[in-house]
Structure 1
Amino acid sequence: MAVPEIRIGSVATKLPGPPVDNARLGTFFRASGVFEQWVEAFIGTRTRHLSMDLDSGEVRFSLADLAEEAARNAMKAAGVAPGDIDVVVMGTSMPDTLLPTTVNVVADRLGIDGVAGYQLQSGCTGAMQALDIAHQMLLTGRHRTALVIGGEMCAKHIDLDLDFGKLSPGEMVNTVLFGDGAGAAVLTVEPVPGAPVLHRVLVRCAGQGKAPGQVVEWFGMGDREEKRSALHEDFKAIEENVPLLSAEALKELLDGQGWRPSDVTWLLPPQLSARMTDRIVSHLGLLQAQEISCVKETGNTANALPFFQLERVLPRMRTGDRAVAVAVESSKWIKSGFVLEAV
């Protein structure tokens, strides 16, 4: 049996609320002037979108809300109905609840039932892992259409009573790095005109012997009163490891396709922060490739980010164009990516 070509039939995204700039965010952490300068110097993010209303503290969107809208719009753009979906896969590091899984809630709202469904608990490579599972399942020939979702909703980690000046460096980063959002894509074996071929998805564990670069705690009935920090990031380790892992992922992706660096038309680099993205792109050295980045405007939306990048690049791809995406997770170090071609 011939191996089917897997195409990205459509992509859609959803951001909650208006953009929140650094000046506005700084007022809530009692560090307006210092805050803005610090963010510009070390992070580079200008705005992000939050599900929480900063004035009232009300959480106005759930992750399921954002994911449902993104998925519904992706399905509409692809011209598929709920009954056409064979597989649903979602990647997120911050689900609404541990149970029920957010992917099941979203599928229920969309009217999708009786199909294979998976939710992956993962950080910045969760979307790649979700794409990988959907891609592999479609390659078997037993399924024809998959809905892949990624998103984050960080309201659980926003504390408007924080005194920014009293935070450790590892905690400071997390107050500004992240934003909320969701994205979805329809993958299909159908020969959709103009839809690029997703040749391969790469996911590799790369953390043997390495300490975690990021830790996100969760609390239950027994330890909910503990005072340990819910979030901690070793930004120095991330600065050191992510460019190296990105280069390794890029080389493996190109070698796997028999492509040379000069063959790449579009580069979708990791989107940890604007400053880190600049450093990674410089390290990768694909000088001829056009960069597709959005983290300055969206903040780090982790598992939603590849969909925002895809949404930007797909309308611009022409026959013969080749795109490579790379993502790295620093929690226990995963390198990942995919290769895409307009044929």
Structure 2
Amino acid sequence: MIRSVITGTGSALPARRVSNAEMTEMVDTTDEWIVERTGIRFRHIAGPEETTATLARDAATSALASAGVDAQGVDLIVLATATPDQTFPSSATKVQAMLGIDDCVAFDIAAVCSGFLYAVQVADSMLRAGAHRRALVIGAETFSRILDWEDRTTCVLFGDGAGAIVLEAQESEEADGRGILASRLHADGRHNDLLYVDGGPSTTGTVGKLRMKGREVFRHAVVNLAAVMEESLVVAGLTADQVDWVVPHQANARILDATARKLGLPAEKVVITVDQHANTSAASVPLALDAAVRDGRIQAGQIVVLEAMGGGFTWGAAVVRF
């Protein structure tokens, strides 16, 4: 069989790091309020020369170095983002050009915070179909560009950044071999008004600003994330006690805790970076994954579950033998 194997991880963060104390100088909030309700202590904010594409390029370069491969060996780039550099062309093609890749398939995916999981499944399908051999799968965002900096309920929650993986098609005769074992995606557009941006090219002709009803999003997130993780584990033929690590979307520490409890997973198996990066939307899962790989927590052969939920609603999970 052909499996898509993660052979490298990488990440990139803007130079500017903003603490909760600095946020209190911008909006009416406190460090205690932010930490108690979200677990967030810091976020990174892109500067004038930093964009979604430049952060994606840096994360991709890091992932390629981790995999020990040259950019010219990449024949597929799938970039998940809700904050592209331009309406078109895709930010993926900008990354392709910046990496010096002469020709490859490159496109963006828009599924907000679930975008990286959507990108992983799309790339996995294309690799297993035999159309491509090596993919860069990237989640990159500059959410600071679409925040209402006068809305204290949302502007404290988000940050900018990028994460990437190198995904390679490898033949395996072993059922317990490395690679993506299962992935499941969902969407329910009836909940548009709970988490959205109030603008767009075909409606207002503007970029718009992020709007969110936090309590309702929290309720849906805990239920949906626990369900999709259970679903993906069933497809993979595994149980929760066989999971070594959960790498979740880093939206809110309380959501992470509630989801782990619902699955009966110990908190020490959950990778948490929301305190350092805040919610980086499509970038949050690959950022957290790279952090746990580089500090040695995630090891070859371990079972890792990736999961996320975002605006739409969209949500998904993937089970990987690392």
Output the TM-score relative to the length of structure 1. Answer: 0.85
In structure 1, what is the Cα distance between the partners aligned to 2:267 and 2:21?
36
Shift of 1:326: 1.4
In structure 2, what is the Cα distance between the partners aligned to 1:76 and 1:222?
42
In structure 2, what is the Cα distance between the partners aligned to 1:15 and 1:74?
14
Shift of 1:90: 0.5
Partner SS, residue 65 of structure 1: helix
In structure 2, what is the Cα distance between the partners aligned to 1:120 and 1:321?
28
Match of 2:231 in 1: 252
The match for 1:266 among 217, 226, 245 is: 245
The match for 1:14 among 12, 15, 34 is: 12
The match for 2:41 among 30, 46, 49 is: 46
Match of 1:26 in 2: 24
Instruction: Tell me, yes or no, if structure 1 residue 125 matches structure 2 residue 106.
Output: no
Match of 1:310 in 2: 289
Partner SS, residue 94 of structure 1: coil
Instruction: Tell me, yes or no, if structure 1 residue 290 matches structure 2 residue 256.
Output: no
In structure 1, what is the Cα distance between the partners aligned to 2:171 and 2:38?
42
In structure 2, what is the Cα distance between the partners aligned to 1:268 and 1:234?
24
The match for 2:58 among 66, 69, 84 is: 69
Shift of 1:213: 2.1
Deviations 1:167-196 (A, max 9, x none): xxxx4322111000011111012479xx94
The match for 1:138 among 124, 127, 131 is: 127
Partner SS, residue 113 of structure 2: coil
Structure 1 regions of 5+ residues with no counterpart? 53-58, 163-170
Match of 1:198 in 2: 180
Deviations 1:71-116 (A, max 9, x none): 1121122122232111110000111111122111111111123221
- For residues 265 and 67 of structure 1, do their structure 2 counterparts lie closer, same or farther at Cα, with a shift above 3 Å needed? same
Q: Tell me if structure 2 keeps the 8 A contact 1:13–1:182.
A: yes
In structure 1, what is the Cα distance between the partners aligned to 2:263 and 2:248?
9
- For residues 21 and 208 of structure 1, do their structure 2 counterparts lie closer, same or farther at Cα, with a shift above 3 Å needed? closer
In structure 1, what is the Cα distance between the partners aligned to 2:252 and 2:284?
11
- For residues 38 and 317 of structure 1, do their structure 2 counterparts lie closer, same or farther at Cα, with a shift above 3 Å needed? closer
Q: Tell me if structure 2 keeps the 8 A contact 1:264–1:289.
A: no
Partner SS, residue 3 of structure 2: coil
Output the TM-score relative to the length of structure 2. Answer: 0.90
Query: Bigger radius of gyration, 1 or 2?
Result: 1
Alpha carbon RMSD of aligned pairs, Å?
Answer: 2.4
In structure 2, what is the Cα distance between the partners aligned to 1:156 and 1:242?
24
Give the number of equivalent residue pairs: 316
In structure 2, what is the Cα distance between the partners aligned to 1:134 and 1:173?
35
